[in-house]
Amino acid sequence: MSEHRDTGLGLQDNTELLHRISERLAERFAGIFAAETVERYVFESYTALARTAKISAYLPATTEHFATDRLAALAKSKGAVGSEGPEVLFVCVQNAGRSQMAAALLTVEAKGRIHVRSAGSLPAAELDPGVVTVMAEMGLDLTKNYPKPLTDDVVRASDVVITMGCGDSCPIYPGKRYEDWDLPDPADQSLDNVRDIRDQIHERVKTLVASIPAHPLEKETTSS
């Protein structure tokens, strides 16, 4: 594992590449964020992901994806862009099992009407192999997913925050719906146990999607 850390995870080695990513995202978010803000988010995102990354070759792509999502969340929370629908965030400790399964299942059940994110308070280096296997049994490919650290911007942008075993690590903001799902951690479990956890999550997700109105933010605004 130390070999991976010595072959390209250094911030200094990737500065030029990160500047190019920053330039692309600065164009995408022009008129919303200053170029300096975009660059700061890109470099912060890279540093956060590099702490746990196992394979450095994937870091540029995951950094751009992660920074883009964080900037989009920040823009929404600041009211710089309109909401295209409700947003749900799933949080567990490692973002390697429960929250990843929940996010994938909600994405399917919501049929595009809900924007779904997941994050971890202490993200792992990669997804749990058993989780990837049991989700593939349902036709859901998680092989390109990666654990993401929990950041304040995605919490602020969310309408519903579902926590799973991460205690008080998720910040609490008024006007949001919070739930805690008491579910076992699939790490180091047999495949049969992981399947059972998956199915429990699926049932909860079906209940959740039926309970979320199309525009929860509009409802909050009119009631305040």
Is 220 part of a structural domain of the chain?
Answer: no
For 72-100, the pLDDT digits (tens) are 999 998 888 877 789 999 999 999 999 99
Q: Which of 58, 82, 106 is the last residue of a domain?
A: 82
Please tell me whether residues 72 and 93 are part of one structural domain.
no
Report whether pLDDT(4) > 80: no
Please tell me whether residues 67 and 106 are part of one structural domain.
no
Q: Which of 82, 100, 125 is the last residue of a domain?
A: 82
Instruction: Note down the domain range covering 36.
Output: 1-82
Report whether pLDDT(30) > 70: yes
> What CATH number is associated with residue 37?
1.10.8.1060
Q: What is the pLDDT of residue 86?
A: 94
Average pLDDT, the chain: 88
Matching residue, tokens 């929940």: 102
Q: How confident is the model at residue 12 (pLDDT cuts 50, 70, 90)?
A: low
In one letter, which amino acid is 68?
A: T
Is 154 part of a structural domain of the chain?
Answer: yes
Angle between helices 15-28 and 35-50 (to 10 degrees): 130
> What CATH number is associated with residue 122?
3.40.50.2300
Report whether pLDDT(121) > 60: yes
Give which of 190, 184, 182, 185 is closest to 130, Cα–Cα.
190
Please tell me whether residues 25 and 112 are part of one structural domain.
no
Please tell me whether residues 135 and 185 are part of one structural domain.
yes
Matching residue, tokens 């969310």: 158
Number of domains composing the chain:
2
For 156-201, the pLDDT digits (tens) are 999 999 999 877 777 788 889 999 999 999 999 999 999 999 999 9
Is 222 part of a structural domain of the chain?
Answer: no
C-alpha distances in Å from residue 37, one per residue of 30, 75, 144: 11, 12, 28
Q: What is the pLDDT of residue 57?
A: 78
Q: What is the pLDDT of residue 73?
A: 95
Q: How confident is the model at residue 26 (pLDDT cuts 50, 70, 90)?
A: very high
Please tell me whether residues 22 and 110 are part of one structural domain.
no
